[in-house]
Amino acid sequence: MALFNCVMPLLNKGVCLSNFIKKDEIWILKRPVYDQQTSFLQKLQLNDGLDLPPQQQSDARKSSSPGSVVRELPGFHSGNSRLQEKDNEQRPDNISIANNFGSKKFPQTIIIGVKKGGTRALLEFLRIHPDVRAVGAEPHFFDRFYDKGLEWYRNLMPRTLEGQITMEKTPSYFVTKEAPRRLFDLSRHIKLIVVVRDPVTRAVSDYTQTLSKQPGLPSFQSLTFRNSTTGLIDTSWSAVRIGIYAKHLENWLQYFPLSRFLFVSGERLVTDPAGEMGRVQDFLGLKRVVTAKHFYFNQTKGFPCLKKPEGSSRPRCLGKSKGRPHPQISPEVLLRLREFYRPFNMKFYQMTGQDFGWD
């Protein structure tokens, strides 16, 4: 009878009787409650059934704990707070959700661009810092999923403790016309990081990535020019359009002052990762925890990797999709593209007060 008495509180809180089997006049739990994850886990980690991308669903399942699932049983207060709830709300049993698990908050910092500029490297370097908590996958809220609502967005965020920074990165925000206004409506005080790279090299890298997924892609030259005879550049091609940084920045400056931005050099992130990370940590108001001791240069990949953390047998390098060899492209094509970008680069230098040395 002792075991029967033990499970009665769970039964009283609404746990289905089918979870138990009767043996020798004693009710026994078929399997631990936390093994029955399907519905409870989805509700807790996927925001009451809201759709998430498959990768984020997978991440949610991996990150859940037995304790977090049990707290979704009827009779327990959900750890998923609503927008109007206070983050430090106390449950009836006097256990603070915020103190135990942290709180889901909107990002205080977003890496908004640019594609193939070094945003993934920057995010991974920042995640070493104990006061930074970041979403692994790109949420694409302000460009693709804005109609899902702010609560959906906030529930994608990791839980943070007092003093920690919530962060995400979606490089396509920088070139999305609606993104600045949408982000401004959320927070006019948010800090924005833009990782920029020589637009010619960036365009080739962008093309290389697409080519790896679409082997039948036309040549870089044919996509670059509207007319190869006149040499007119096709700015409708996204690989070219993204590199017109001055144009995209003008759109953002209609909503945010320059002081809200930090422009990170993609080149210096490779040649001097510790130096660039020092600037980033200063901008975020963080102690300089990520330093030169965390990096080593991987000659094979051609960019820095993180030294292996304690307890790990191998260092942390970006995946095989990073550092791909670029295809051979005619020097004349690259020269014409460089001439096209030069006036835009000059304007970008003037707007940001930084000379990135691309010309």
Per residue in 323-350, pLDDT (tens digit) is: 568 889 999 999 999 999 999 999 999 9
Active site residue 116: yes
119 is in an annotated binding site: yes
What is the distance between the alpha carbons of residues 299 and 45, in angstroms, rounded to a whole number?
Answer: 40
Q: Is the pLDDT of residue 215 over 50?
A: yes
pLDDT of residue 320: 56
pLDDT of residue 58: 46
pLDDT of residue 312: 54
> H/E/C letters for each residue in 118-178?
CHHHHHHHHCCCCCEEECCCCCCCCCCCHHHCHHHHHCCCCEECCCCEEEEECHHHHHCCC
Per residue in 68-109, pLDDT (tens digit) is: 332 333 333 333 333 333 333 333 333 334 445 799 999 999
248 is in an annotated binding site: no
**CATH number attached to the domain at 104-352:** 3.40.50.300
Per residue in 231-270, pLDDT (tens digit) is: 899 999 999 999 999 999 999 999 999 999 999 999 999 9
Q: In this structure, which amino acid lies at residue 324? A: R
61 is in an annotated binding site: no
Q: Are β-strands 261-265 and 191-196 bridged in parallel, bridged antiparallel, or unpaired?
A: parallel
Give this prediction's pTM: 0.70
Q: In this structure, which amino acid lies at residue 307? A: K
Averaging pLDDT over each range in 2-6, 189-193, 310-314, which range is the top one? 189-193
pLDDT of residue 248: 98
E strand intervals along 10-119: 20-23, 26-29, 103-104, 109-113
129 is in an annotated binding site: no
From 104, 116, 169, 191, active-site residue: 116
For 2, the token pair is 């002792």
